[in-house]
Structures are given as C-alpha cells and as structure tokens.
Amino acid sequence: MEKAMNTGCLLEVRDVNNSYDGETMLQDVSFSLAEGEIICLLGPSGSGKTTLLRILAGLEQEESGTIFYRGRDLRPIAPHKRQIGMMFQEYALFPHKTVWQNVAFGLEMQKLTKEETHEKVVAMLELVSLSGFGERNIDQLSGGERQRVALARSLAPEPELLLLDEPLGSLDRTLRDRLTTEIRQILKSIGVTAVFVTHDHAEAFSVADKVAILKGGRLQQYDSPENVYRSPVNKVVAEFLGFKNLFKIEVGKASSLAELLLGGTGNKVPERSRQQYILIRPDGAKVIKSQEQPPEGWPVIWGSVSHSRFQGTSYRYEVSIDDEPLRFELPIDPAPPRVGEKVQLALNPSAIKVLPAV
C-alpha cells in the first residue's frame, strides 16, 4: 500500500483522474485538507466538482490516483464505513416524517439507545436554531428551515468529514447570503471538516478556509479565498471570478497603456511568445481630483466615463481608456464624475497582475 505524503492531513487527494463516456471529468487533481478546515470546490457546471465529491463519498470510483483519509487508502473502504456524511442540494428529507424523525434517521444505524438518540436530536436542533420544531412536518417549513434540518441530519451521526453538494443552490440570494455565514459558524463550532461544492464564488469566499477552483476537470488554483481573489493564477481563474479588466499583451506591440500599467509594478512587458494578459482588479482604482496628488508609485490614467451605476454600497463604473473599456468599483463618497465627463484614476499596483492564459 502507498503511504500518504502528508500524514498530518485528514484528507489527501493525489493525482485523481476520472472520465465518463470518453470525456475527461477530472485530470490529475491533487490537494490536501487539514482537520477542521472547510474547503470549497468552486467552478462552473461540468467542471468536475460533483464528480470529485462522489468519488470522496465512494459513490463513484476514480480511474487512477489515490485518496488518503487519516493516512489510509480509501479505495477498499465501503462508502458506509468511511465516516463521511453527505448533504445534497435537494435536502433529501423524508416528507412523511417530522423534523425530529428526519434528524433521528441518521442515528438509527448506530443502534443508540432512545436516551442517546433523544439527547443528540435535541442538541442538533439547538445547533441549527430549530429548537421546538421537532414535531413539525417538512411541508410546514420554509426553504431555509428545510436546509437547516438537512444539515442537522447530516451532522447528527458525528461524521469526521461532511460533503455538501450545492446545499444552498435552490435558495434566493438574500437567504443564501445569511445561511453561508451560519453554516460556517455551525461547522466551526463543532470542528467538522467539510468539502463544500458551489459554482458561486461569493458563497465560496464566505464559507471556505481554502478554495479549489476547477475548470475542465483540472485544479486551476488551491489557496485561501483572499489569495485567490487578490492573485488569480491565470486568465481562466480571473474570468471565472468575473474580472473584466483583462487584455492581451502582444509581444512587440505593447500598448502605451500596458507600458504605463506595468511601469510602476515591478513587472515588465514580456518578451516571450507565451500568451499573457494584464489584469486590473475592479477595487484597485482611486479617483484623483484636480490639484490632488496620486499616491506614490500608483500609475495614473485618464479616460472618459462611459457608464455609471449606483449599487448601494458602491458605484459600478466603466471608463474608456485608449479604446479599452475598463470597469471599476468606486466608493459612494466622494461621488465620482458623471457619464461623459473626463476622469483621472490612480491604480493601486497591487491590483495590477500579469497572468498567463492557463
């Protein structure tokens, strides 16, 4: 039997590959997860997120590669013996059972006494803020309450690892935003290690300690949410995160804008033939008023405001510079210039990145 490279990790995925009907679903995926950490598998539909989750649960088999769980190879271990819980987007609750019976269901296989089961169900309902809901039927609950019941049922058997497959996907944005914070607090309060699948990067950033971005079956980046946002590793990740200020650097044809942007960042316009792009994060701009001096080392650009939209906490701004439409998020105070007006922007060097295509 192979030995795990890092026995201090609860879970280690090494070089996992999988395909379906000749189509590659996962390609050489590797990462490790420490005990008590929450990782989000983040990516668009068809990126391999759910396939990887099902492999971890033992519901699908990897074609090659190894998954270690506390240093043991998971492959020969049956799904029901892996001490892994799973929560689905559809909740998978029993509509004919009460809230209490749904939460208790996962405990039945453990052959606990009635007293032990009662104690655990009470604790779980309290944990998810549903004390007093035990006798309610499932059809009497809101979507958010059903999600809490599903979480309580998944946590009741005390799994060492919990897998959550798009658990908030069917809820509206306001409820999702609230429950992402609550789910993280609940998991952290009891120290459960979790793998959380989502296609929503805002949701992933709110829940996760680490984010694994998958695209086309490949693990593109694995890092903390802050590092993923601040420093996407390539154009694929930047585009998935929704960054719009991406333009290609053509070797030997560097535009004056590219020269200006890279001049103060320590980066040079590349001379290699490899495709590279400049990224300007939308949070990196500051409006410079007349007679005001820009921060030292910040490149300054002039442009015309072509679009402005108030969003409550910020303005979404589009500025045309050298025929390049650049989009920024600007604070509401001081109020930025209006559409059609000229604007001077200073750009934070830390928000300017040179990225490879892949």
pLDDT for 270 = 55
d(CA 92, CA 147): 10
The residues, ordered by sequence, that sit 6+ positions from 165 with a Cβ below 8 Å of its Cβ are 50, 53, 86, 87, 88, 89, 197
CATH label of the domain that carries residue 95: 3.40.50.300
Q: Is residue 4 part of a domain?
A: no
Same domain flag for 156 and 29 = yes
Q: Is residue 223 part of a domain?
A: yes
Domain boundary among 199, 234, 269: 234
Same domain flag for 256 and 219 = no
pLDDT for 335 = 82
Domain that holds residue 70: 11-234
CB atoms within 10 A of CB 177: 14
69 — phi, psi (to 5°)? -130, 110
Q: Is residue 135 part of a domain?
A: yes
Question: pLDDT band at residue 56, thresholds of 50, 70 and 90?
Answer: very high
Domain boundary among 187, 213, 234: 234
Three-state SS across 25-38?
Answer: EEEEEEEEECCCCE
The per-residue pLDDT for range 75-88, each reduced to its tens digit, is 889 888 888 988 87
What's this model's pTM, rounded to 2 decimal places? 0.86
Same domain flag for 199 and 247 = no
Beta strands in 311-351 (DSSP E): 314-321, 324-331, 342-347
* DSSP, residue by residue, 197-245: EES-HHHHHHH-SEEEEEETTEEEEEE-HHHHHH--SSHHHHHHTT---
When comparing pLDDT for 221 and 105, which is higher?
221
Residues β-bridged to residue 287: 345
Statement: residue 149 has pLDDT above 90:
yes
Residues β-bridged to residue 68: 12, 73
Same domain flag for 251 and 104 = no
Question: pLDDT band at residue 3, thresholds of 50, 70 and 90?
Answer: very low
d(CA 174, CA 143): 12
d(CA 302, CA 316): 17
The per-residue pLDDT for range 199-220, each reduced to its tens digit, is 999 999 999 999 999 999 999 9
Number of domains observed in the structure of the chain: 2
- DSSP H helical segments within the chain, as ranges? 49-57, 99-105, 114-127, 143-155, 173-190, 201-207, 225-230, 235-240, 256-263
Same domain flag for 66 and 118 = yes
Average of pLDDT values for 140-168? 90
Domain boundary among 193, 214, 234: 234
pLDDT for 211 = 97
Q: Are 97 and 105 in contact (CB under 8 A)?
A: yes
Query: Which of 351, 326, 350 lies closest to 257 in space, CA to CA?
Result: 326
Same domain flag for 92 and 162 = yes
The per-residue pLDDT for range 13-44, each reduced to its tens digit, is 999 999 988 888 999 999 999 999 999 999 99
